[in-house]
């Protein structure tokens, strides 16, 4: 058992910065809240399934409760009717939280340039990473998760994230 | 000219349809829609016309009935007392066009938000007029009415627990909201609200050429995109009076049936996850991933393939396709056997699924339910048998029927249909004819690239088809295919230009979902979840 480091360090004390330790733990235990509404949600099922295996990145604990999640993956079209629901769920997630916008619809409305579709979820909630594609291949989703991991490693735990964001549903 | 089968006066509408139902047994109301003739090049008697599409008890004949709505009143009698399916169909027509149905018990919006102003499918509504919504629907206008009609007193209603499942809930498989009134864990009343994924498919069709619409059809039922491509292209080809080549027909059958298999895999896998069995999901999903590898090799995309074209297909099969396909089919067979070995004789599985979520034959027909959900109730209706297209009559396969219409029947029918699809694919691969996959029709199909770059006719042809689109003869037409969820119909109105004047999609699970609340009432919450999963609701399809 163990990673092999115990043979070098024994049971001695290792010192590091708190930021580094916490971020290291965070980045390898992302708990995604999948806001899957459409086609991208089906592709996310593939990401989680055996072949692409999201659990290699420590992000397989998919929660559908915002209180238990720190990574929101918006997978699918967001209509104006859905927008307040998305906003509410994002607000219910505890800090720190990251958002991935998966697929053309979530990023920009996709080819649904019409009366019902929100032209990108960044009009409502802040977004950290965008994934292109309609829907993106599972590899692209994994890539975005790795980018989020990288991002979370570089941050300080004392700083609040995305506090200056104001979407049109914010009063 | 392509015309509806009957034109009646609004005053005679109800009696005509009642007669058709009683005397000529047109028992299935497929769809209701309206046409706004505001910008139509040929002058029509009134601005709005309503179209009713019915199918008879033998399922072989369908009839389209058109009536011109009086401009002053914009109202017609409601058919909700004749067909259960008319409930949501009329609400949708009211929502999109603002036509009132007199006598409808609950005429309110169904796809758009209640704060939405105007009617989006009217020709004078600008497609990009977006309206921001801030409130969620309380549904307290429907629930007390429903409970009172069931005989609950005010005191009893106050004692009930009200619970929302959805619009974002893992058990709702998409964005469906169910508002439940509970006594303990028993559902006493259920109200379903949809529209959270309404993406304006029909309005978008009116601003795109016929070929540009094909990618939009992919995103209706994204679990079996190619079946939607086929349904749409078949409609347009029939309007153009084009007979596609035998090879294209066979390839459409092969790839279409493969899509049906994938569709059923997703439904059954998700259903069994809802029952607590994750292992089944891994077993049958690995076969699905193999199928996606094959589809991406063939079409360039995994999920949204846009594989068919009006007049044929985008690509011919690649070298080594037959071997890849056989590997996929073997994996599906193995996955099915493995998954079934876990549940087939499992007492818990039987208790959770048998006699749960029962749909009776009569109710299914009245509600307009088609496809596996209908066949699981024991009704022998499969368009591939009743109105065969693409040589389906020459393939040897069985229509899979259930007996009780419960969740168990629906799951098992889907497994058996996967086997039947494999049978069809193997026969089609054996008899696959040689030849072209596209018909020779320069006014429909894009020219070869060597012509585009090599001569002026080819170049002009490419430009004309890209900018102006395929010119479909003026008129209106309904055609249907057997999609993953049932009868997928397209009612297309053409004004003779390269852009459809109107496209109405008849989504099979819109009607199944309309009936859902009646099916789960009286059952438990946990049963409602598995019932929902077994009926295969796809948000892109019912919301469009």
What residues of chain B score a pLDDT lower than 70?
none
Helices (H), B376-507: 383-386, 407-430, 449-454, 456-467
Beta carbons of B132 and A135 less than 8 Å apart? no
Task: For chain A, say whether B16 makes contact (Cβ under 8 Å).
Answer: no
Task: For chain A, say whether B164 makes contact (Cβ under 8 Å).
Answer: no
Q: pLDDT tens for residues A37-90?
A: 888 888 888 888 878 888 888 888 888 888 888 899 999 899 888 888 888 889
> C-alpha B144: how far from its chain's center?
31
Contacts of A83 in chain B (CB under 8 A): 132-133
The residue segments making up the domain with residue A60 are: 32-154
B242-264 burial: b if 16+ Cβ within 10 Å, else e: bebbbbbbbbbbbbbbbbbbbbb
Contacts of B203 in chain A (CB under 8 A): 114-115
Inter-residue contact B478 to B33 (CB < 8 Å): no
Inter-residue contact B222 to A36 (CB < 8 Å): no
Task: For chain B, say whether A103 makes contact (Cβ under 8 Å).
Answer: no
Domains of chain B: 201-543 (1.10.645.10)
Q: Report the distance separating Cα B183 and Cα B140, nearest Å.
A: 17
Q: Which class for B308: exposed (0-12), middle (13-18), buried (19 or more C-beta within 10 A)?
A: buried
Contacts of B168 in chain A (CB under 8 A): 35, 37, 64, 85-86, 89
Half-sphere exposure of A32 (CA within 13 A, CB side): 29
Q: pLDDT tens for residues B260-307?
A: 999 999 889 888 888 887 888 888 888 888 899 999 999 988 888 889
What is the complex's ipTM, to 2 decimals?
A: 0.84
Report residue A5's pLDDT band, with 50, 70 and 90 as the boundaries: low
Which of left, alpha, beta for A109 (phi over 0: left; psi -120 to 50: alpha)?
Answer: left
Q: Measured between CA atoms, how close is A145 to chain B, in angstroms?
A: 20
pLDDT at A51: 83
Q: What angle do CA B234, B235, B238 make, to 5 degrees?
A: 85
Report residue A171's pLDDT band, with 50, 70 and 90 as the boundaries: low
Which are the contacts of B411, defined by CB distance < 8 A and separation ≥ 6? B268, B271, B272, B353, B534
pLDDT at A144: 93
Q: Is the pLDDT of residue A1 over 50?
A: no
Q: Which class for B130: exposed (0-12), middle (13-18), buried (19 or more C-beta within 10 A)?
A: middle
Beta carbons of B286 and A46 less than 8 Å apart? no
Q: Which class for A7: exposed (0-12), middle (13-18), buried (19 or more C-beta within 10 A)?
A: exposed
- Domain annotation covers residue A23: no
Least CB–CB distance from A81: residue in B125, B133, B285: B133
Task: For chain B, say whether A25 makes contact (Cβ under 8 Å).
Answer: no
Which of A43, A31, A171 has its CA nearest to residue A106? A43
Task: For chain B, say whether A112 makes contact (Cβ under 8 Å).
Answer: yes
How far, CA to CA in Å, does B525 sit from each of B152, B166, B361? Answer: 20, 13, 24
Beta carbons of B168 and A50 less than 8 Å apart? no
Q: Report the distance separating Cα B320 and Cα B303, nearest Å.
A: 21
Which of A21, A61, A18, A32 has its CA nearest to residue A148? A32
Beta carbons of B127 and A113 less than 8 Å apart? yes
| Domains contained in chain A, number | 1
Contacts of A115 in chain B (CB under 8 A): 120, 125-131, 200, 203
CATH, residue A72: 3.40.50.12280
Q: Is the pLDDT of residue A2 over 60?
A: no
- Domain annotation covers residue A50: yes
Q: Report the distance separating Cα B71 and Cα B94, nearest Å.
A: 15
pTM for this entry: 0.89
How far, CA to CA in Å, does B173 sit from each of A43, A88, B267, B288, B489? Answer: 13, 19, 10, 18, 23
Q: Is the pLDDT of residue A101 over 90?
A: yes
Q: Which of A53, A116, A121, A138 to mutate to test the interface with B (most CBs of B within 10 A)?
A: A116
Contacts of A114 in chain B (CB under 8 A): 127-128, 199-200, 203-204
- Domain annotation covers residue A1: no
- Domain annotation covers residue A13: no
- Domain annotation covers residue A169: no
């Amino acid at each position: 058992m163990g990673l092999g480091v115990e043979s070098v360090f024994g049971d001695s004390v290792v010192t590091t910065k708190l930021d580094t330790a916490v971020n290291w733990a965070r980045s390898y235990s992302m708990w995604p809240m999948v806001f899957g509404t459409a086609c991208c949600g089906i592709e996310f099922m593939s990401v989680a399934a055996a072949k692409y295996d999201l659990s290699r990145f420590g992000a397989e604990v998919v929660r559908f409760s915002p209180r238990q999640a720190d990574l929101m993956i918006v997978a699918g079209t967001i209509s104006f009717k859905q927008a307040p629901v998305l906003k509410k769920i994002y607000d219910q997630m505890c800090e720190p939280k990251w958002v991935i916008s998966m697929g053309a619809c979530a990023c920009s409305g996709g080819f649904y340039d019409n009366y019902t579709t929100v032209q990108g979820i960044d009009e409502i909630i802040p977004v950290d990473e965008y994934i292109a594609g309609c829907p993106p291949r599972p590899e692209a989703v994994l890539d975005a998760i790795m980018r989020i991991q990288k991002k979370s490693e570089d941050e300080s735990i004392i700083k609040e994230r995305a506090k200056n964001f104001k979407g049109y549903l914010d009063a | 000219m392509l015309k509806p089968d009957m034109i009646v006066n609004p005053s005679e509408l109800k009696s005509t349809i009642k007669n058709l139902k009683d005397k000529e047994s047109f028992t299935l109301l497929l769809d209701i829609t309206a046409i706004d003739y505001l910008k139509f090049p040929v002058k029509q008697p009134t601005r709005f016309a309503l179209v009713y599409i019915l199918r008879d008890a033998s399922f072989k004949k369908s009839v389209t009935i058109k009536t011109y709505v009086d401009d002053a009143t914009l109202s017609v009698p409601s058919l909700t007392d004749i067909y259960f399916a008319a409930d949501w169909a009329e609400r949708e027509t009211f929502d999109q066009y603002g036509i009132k149905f007199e006598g409808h018990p609950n005429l309110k919006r169904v796809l758009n938000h209640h704060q939405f102003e105007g009617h989006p499918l009217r020709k004078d509504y600008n497609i990009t007029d977006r309206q921001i919504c801030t409130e969620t629907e309380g549904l307290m206008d429907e629930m007390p009415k429903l409970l009172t009609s069931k005989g609950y007193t005010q005191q009893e209603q106050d004692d009930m627990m009200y619970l929302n499942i959805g619009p974002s809930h893992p058990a709702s498989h998409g964005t469906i909201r169910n508002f439940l009134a509970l006594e303990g864990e028993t559902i006493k009343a259920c109200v379903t609200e949809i529209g959270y994924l309404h993406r304006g498919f029909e309005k978008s069709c009116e601003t795109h050429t016929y070929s540009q619409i094909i990618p939009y059809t992919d995103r209706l039922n994204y679990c079996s995109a190619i079946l939607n491509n086929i349904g749409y292209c078949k409609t347009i080809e029939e309007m153009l009076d084009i007979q596609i080549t035998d090879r294209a027909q066979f390839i459409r059958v092969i790839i279409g049936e493969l899509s049906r298999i994938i569709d059923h895999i997703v439904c059954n896998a998700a259903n069994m996850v809802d029952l607590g069995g994750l292992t089944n999901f891994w077993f049958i999903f690995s076969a699905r991933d193999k199928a996606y590898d094959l589809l991406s090799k063939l079409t360039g995309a995994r999920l949204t393939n846009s594989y068919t074209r009006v007049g044929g297909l985008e690509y011919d099969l690649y070298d080594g396709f037959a071997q890849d396909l056989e590997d996929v089919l073997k994996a599906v067979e193995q996955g099915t056997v493995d998954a079934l070995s876990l549940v087939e004789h499992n007492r818990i599985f039987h208790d959770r699924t048998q006699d749960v979520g029962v749909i009776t034959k009569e109710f299914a027909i009245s509600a307009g339910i088609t496809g596996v959900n209908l066949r699981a109730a024991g009704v022998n209706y499969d368009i591939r048998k009743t109105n065969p297209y693409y040589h389906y009559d020459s393939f040897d396969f069985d229509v899979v029927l259930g007996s009780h219409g419960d969740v168990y029947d629906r799951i098992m029918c889907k497994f058996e249909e996967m086997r039947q699809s494999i049978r069809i694919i193997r026969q089609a691969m054996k008899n696959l004819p040689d030849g072209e996959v596209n018909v020779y029709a320069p006014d429909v199909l894009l020219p070869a690239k060597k012509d585009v770059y090599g001569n002026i006719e080819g170049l002009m042809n490419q430009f004309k088809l890209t900018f102006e689109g395929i010119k479909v003869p003026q008129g209106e037409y309904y055609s249907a295919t057997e999609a993953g969820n049932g009868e997928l119909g397209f009612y297309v109105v053409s004004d003779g230009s390269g852009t459809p004047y109107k496209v109405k999609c008849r989504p099979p699970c819109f009607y199944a979902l309309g009936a859902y609340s009646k099916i789960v009432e009286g059952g438990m919450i946990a049963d409602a979840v598995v019932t929902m999963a077994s009926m295969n609701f796809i948000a892109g399809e019912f919301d469009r």
